[in-house]
Structure 1
Amino acid sequence: MNADFSRPVLAIDTSTSYLSLAIYAQGQTWSHHEEVGTKQSALILPALDALLKQASLSRQDLGCIVYAQGPGAFTGLRIGLGVAQGLALAQNLPLIGIDCLEAIASLATNEAYVLAASDARMGEVFYAWFNTQNLTRLSEDMVGKAQDIALPEGITTATGIGNAYNVYAEQLPVTGRSDMPTAVDYLNLALSGRFEATDASAVHLRYVRNKVALTAIEQAARKTC
């Protein structure tokens, strides 16, 4: 399925505690970016309709939908995908899923070695290595403790980016900043043409953690470590 960027494009990012939406149409971009905590499911459709109204568009005008694919907040990702998939199914629209760590890495432009790292909660970090000079991935998406992340073999310097630096800056292997992408960044990545479009039946999320919650015993064990 091919994406038609001549029609309005919607981007949805609910991978964190923020509700982030962006619309691109005829050379203009409209956006909504707000920290809403656990209220994403209640607020996403009203926020979308308000943004469409701001752009003088309706849901029926959309030609493509971009969504944050993960890894990220389990519930948030499912909310975003559910809305994206519902809109796409209703109008047979193509969808473009973009890896959240790749979106984070894109904020550190023209760097040979970038550690994209986001807070995975439960004392862990989602992370991957990228080269943003030639737009290549240097590792798979992974999850683990910040202190266990090592520089790629043979590499001595790198740049770090992502909200893991708000929590684990002293434990991560390279210095960095805590910047995170918004839906506008996901939109711009999709418009680059580097990401494949699929139909609604083929979309998926990227999970790198099998367990999304710790038992009380596991939580107690971690506190004693």
Structure 2
Amino acid sequence: MNVLAIETSAIYCSIAVFKDGQIFFKEDTNKSQHGKVILALIDELLDQSQLSLEQLDKILISYGPGSFTGLRIGCGVAQSFNLIHRIKCFGISSLKVLASTAYQNELKGKVVCLISLGMGEFAASKFDDKESLLDNKTEEFILQNEDLATFLKEHKDYHVITSSENTDMMNILKSKNFSFIQPEAKSMFEFITISDVMSPQGDSFIVPNYLSNKDHWR
């Protein structure tokens, strides 16, 4: 199976290719330059893996919540490949991608993932272990800045993971057990065999998920 993974939900853009069990990975660490680098990264990895777009079986896209502009860029590229080359696209929650990256970096046990949405709001989700990533009913919700400290106090046995450089959040997290991690496209291959089930939008037109007002905690 040949799979392209696209991660543009955070400050770095990363791309990965899965080819018959072998993983090729590239990340650009220039902050918020997704639009400038994404196509070049894809071309570079396809060349490195000796694949063409026509040889891809599917595309996995981290479709949110996360960076407004980054998600539009990533989903736009995936949609264009779907329309032009008829490649199936599957959306994976950016919170799950973040958690998967943390677990692949040797973190164990319970984690809470936080992504800043701006305007004093944070997207959040919690996982009891690596196996819970595969649960298709994982709850995602929005935390207001004023609720963050209370939420973390109620989940003090969870390790906090964030990909966001948010001053208000960092001030609250100073005394907490937390890690600053950037999600990596290669961690999406954790979902490679169940991506058709994980993607709530089907296998073609993937729309960014910014969460909505109804998804607030409590």
TM-score by length of 1: 0.77
C-alpha deviations, 1:22-80, integer Å up to 9, x for none? 00001211111012334322321122111111111111111100001101000110000
Instruction: Give aligned-pair identity as a percent.
Output: 27
- Going by fraction, where is helix more abundant, 1 or 2? 2
Structure 1 residues 178 and 95: alpha-carbon distance in aligned structure 2, compared to 1, 3 A threshold: same
SS in 2 for 1:171: helix
SS in 2 for 1:67: strand
- Residues 98-177 of structure 1 correspond to what in structure 2 (within 5 A)? 98-106=92-100, 107-108=102-103, 110-111=108-109, 113-132=110-129, 134-135=131-132, 136=135, 139-145=139-145, 148-151=148-151, 156-164=156-164, 167=167, 168-172=169-173, 174-177=176-179
Q: Does 1:63 align with 2:60?
A: no
Give structure 2 stretches of 5+ with no counterpart: 214-218
Q: Residue 195 of structure 1: CA displacement?
A: 5.1
SS in 1 for 2:13: strand
SS in 1 for 2:98: helix
> Which of these two proteins has the greater Rg computed from alpha carbons?
1
Distance 1:80 1:178 in 2: 22
Q: Aligned pair count?
A: 201
Cα-Cα RMSD: 2.7
Corresponding residue number in structure 2 for 1:199: 203
Structure 1 residues 192 and 160: alpha-carbon distance in aligned structure 2, compared to 1, 3 A threshold: farther
TM-score by length of 2: 0.79
Structure 1 residues 38 and 155: alpha-carbon distance in aligned structure 2, compared to 1, 3 A threshold: closer
Q: Does 1:28 align with 2:43?
A: no
Give structure 1 stretches of 5+ with no counterpart: 1-5, 211-225
